[in-house]
């Protein structure tokens, strides 16, 4: 497989997100519709069932800079959340989150959002006390 250049990979991801072809429990799109550099993105995660996150919707910002996808994107929750891999300002801590720590070029923003959702549902995390619903950083 040859290396898909950054812009064309992001275009593929955008199209998948626009057409709603991916998983239903997450969504993502460009923060600014005419950002020709495709750097700033918004994402949402629907809290997994049977956890303290059930029925909550979490908003995130994702930054795919020039180094993406060779390097992982910078991910930050804007909705307050209590998770071991998220710091006090909502930033996802790379060293605490496997997907970003062992980043592969084939991963996508969808991978990141789905894995974050999975970590919310982990036995050790799902009953963690959570901030007031819809509060933001």
Partner 1 sequence: MATLPKRIIKETERLVSDPVPGITASPSDDNLRYFEVTIDGPSLSPYANGKFQLELYLPDEYPMCAPKVRFLTKIYHPNIDKLGRICLDVLKDNWSPALQIRTILLSIQALLGAPNPDDPLANDVAQEWKQDEQKAISVAKEWTEKYAVSKD
Partner 2 sequence: MSTYEDDHNIANSNRQSPQPQPRSRQHQSLSSIIQSFLTQENTGVVSEVPSEEIVSNALRMLNEENGSEVVEQLLSQIDTENLDLPHSKKIKGVEQEFIDALPRVDLKKLKPDADCPICTNKFVDNKYPLIVKLPCLHTKVDHIFDLECIGPWLKFNSTCPLCRFDVLEADKFRREKLAAELKRLEEEDEEEEDDDWQNYG
Nearest to 127 by CA among 60, 48, 61, 69: 48
Smallest separation, CB 3 to partner 1 (Å): 6
- Beta carbon nearer to partner 2, 93 or 121: 121
Residue 129 near residue 82, CB atoms below 8 Å = yes
- Which residue carries 């709603």 as its tokens? 20
24 binds, among partner 2, partner 1, none (CB under 5 to 8 A by kind): partner 2
Smallest separation, CB 45 to partner 1 (Å): 25
- Beta carbon nearer to partner 2, 26 or 90: 26
Distance CA 44, CA 31 (A): 12
Smallest separation, CB 110 to partner 1 (Å): 19
- Beta carbon nearer to partner 2, 25 or 96: 25
134 phi and psi angles, rounded to 5 deg: 70, 10
User: Which residues lie near partner 1 (CB under 8 A)?
Assistant: 1-5, 7-8, 11, 14, 33-36, 38
Smallest separation, CB 104 to partner 1 (Å): 17
User: Which residues lie near partner 2 (CB under 8 A)?
Assistant: 20, 23-25, 48-49, 118, 121
């Amino acid at each position: 497989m040859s290396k898909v250049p950054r812009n064309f990979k992001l275009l593929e991801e955008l199209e998948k997100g626009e057409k709603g072809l991916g998983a239903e429990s997450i969504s993502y799109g460009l923060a600014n519709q005419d950002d020709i550099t495709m750097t700033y993105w918004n994402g949402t995660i629907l809290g997994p069932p049977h956890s303290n996150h059930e029925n909550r919707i979490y908003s995130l910002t994702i930054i795919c800079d020039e180094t993406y996808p060779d390097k992982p994107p910078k991910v930050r929750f804007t909705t307050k959340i209590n998770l071991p891999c998220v710091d006090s300002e909502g930033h996802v801590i790379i060293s605490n989150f496997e997907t970003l720590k062992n980043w592969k070029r084939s991963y996508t923003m969808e991978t990141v959002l789905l894995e974050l959702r999975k970590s919310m549902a982990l036995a050790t995390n799902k009953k963690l006390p959570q901030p007031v619903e819809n509060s933001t950083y």
